[in-house]
Amino acid sequence: MHTVWKGSISFGLVNVPVKMHAATETQEFHFNYLHEACHNRVRYTKKCPHCDIEVAAEDIVKGYEYEKDRYVILDDEDLASLEKPMSRSIDILDFIALAEIDPIYYQKSYYLSPEETAQKAYRLLCKAMADTGKVAVAKLTMRSKQHLACLRVVDENIMVLETMYYPAEIRHLEASWDKVSPTEIEIEMARQLIENLAAPFEPEKYQDELREQVKELIEKKVAGETFSVTAAPEPGKVIDLMEALRASIAITDQQKGKPSEKEIENESVDKIKDKTRKVDPKDKKADINAKKGKVDLKDKKVEIGEIAKETKNDETEEKRNKKKRTPKTKLVEENIAEENVSKTNTTEGKAEIEENAQKSTLTLRRRSTRRAKGA
């Protein structure tokens, strides 16, 4: 990799000799200007309008216009005299957190690689900065200009130097729209849209589509072919911000496989209908028991069989009792009923009726217990 600058990193009494390499490059196509008639390159000449002659490079000097058409001359020796003896040094001023630097200050990126004699010191500085999570703010002089810079570690053992703008070089924009306040609903929908579009940063998936089209155009022109580009659809005018947000959220939901707002609404209506429909008490009880895991299909079959068997036994016994009732039995029952009515008119009769009722209740309980044990 081509070296654009040599110097050393200086912090405290430690010096780490390094070489600087450009970390980025432009991939734009560079076109030459040609004469349309003959397709030869147009030559730009530096001409003095006062002397009406072409000026050679060695006859050109630098001048600063301090008044209209009045200049002060500065040559390379004048500028070189201003450079400090340690101008080949990257002087670290402070160590700070990277998040404290606004990206608007960044200008251009350079890799710093160590000289062979300074590899251990270079690795030591990288390790210490990575462990503390700090970056360095530094100054260096390069190409007759003093730069503000940020040194940070990438990939654990590579140091990157970012040249930075000074605060006086940052232009400020006055926001005249700060009095406009969106509603809470609009803010919430905008947040939802951002969440739908959120994704990890994968730089490989971003491509310069225009450059690829220019490349294809050049290749086809060289081959004598025609090239056509499909016109991009014009974006529609935003009439209603809320409608635009809703439509955007619906599109991003569909792309991520999420149910749309209409589907969620329909699903909610179905749930309400399920809750409000009439449910048979027996089915409801079975559903509750099934959810609790207390009744499975086999137990349900056994329970239903036992209920059916018990019901059948009760019906058989009732029919049997009806068959045993003779006319004489009916007469006895009617006499007992009349006797009970007469007894209710006396205190002793009431006590006797209550005692007989208790005996009957006890007898029924014993029969039920025996029947349960038999089952």
| pLDDT, tens digit only, all 375 positions of the chain | 899 999 999 888 888 999 999 998 888 888 999 999 999 999 888 999 989 999 998 999 999 999 998 999 988 787 777 766 546 899 999 999 999 999 999 999 999 999 999 999 999 999 999 999 999 999 998 877 889 999 999 988 999 999 999 999 999 998 888 888 888 998 998 998 888 888 898 988 888 888 888 888 888 888 887 767 666 666 656 567 777 777 877 887 777 776 655 565 565 556 555 555 544 555 555 455 544 444 444 444 444 455 455 555 555 555 555 545 555 555 555 555 555 555 555 556 556 666 766 666 666 666 666 666 555
Instruction: Identify whether the C-beta of residue 134 lies closer than 8 Å to the C-beta of residue 95.
Output: yes
pLDDT tens-digit map of 82-141: 766 546 899 999 999 999 999 999 999 999 999 999 999 999 999 999 999 999 999 998
Could you state, in order of their start, the residue ranges of all structural domains in the chain? 5-168, 183-196+238-277, 283-323, 325-370
Strands 70-74 and 134-142: unpaired
Query: CA–CA distance from 97 to each of 127, 132, 136, 320 (Å)?
Result: 16, 9, 9, 97
| DSSP line for 72-112 | EEE-HHHHHTTS-TTTTEEEEEEEEEGGGS-GGGEEEEEEE
Residue 120 is predicted with a pLDDT of 93
184-197 helix and 241-255 helix, angle to the nearest 10 degrees: 30
Residue 326 is predicted with a pLDDT of 54
Give the distance between the most distant pair of CA atoms in the chain. Answer: 156
Alpha carbon distance 17, 8 (integer Å): 4
Alpha carbon distance 328, 317 (integer Å): 20
Alpha carbon distance 368, 317 (integer Å): 13
Look at the domain 5-168 and name its fold: Ku70; Chain: A; Domain 2 (2.40.290)
Whole-structure pTM value: 0.57
**For residue 151, which of 89, 87, 92 has the smallest C-alpha distance?**
92
Alpha helices by DSSP H, listed for the chain, are: 76-80, 119-132, 184-197, 209-222, 241-255, 261-276, 281-292, 297-324, 327-343, 347-374
Query: CA–CA distance from 93 to each of 101, 128, 135, 157, 241 (Å)?
Result: 15, 16, 11, 21, 48
**For residue 133, which of 178, 170, 97 has the smallest C-alpha distance?**
97
Residue 22 is predicted with a pLDDT of 93
Residue 340 is predicted with a pLDDT of 54
CA-based radius of gyration for the chain: 48
Residue 297 is predicted with a pLDDT of 44
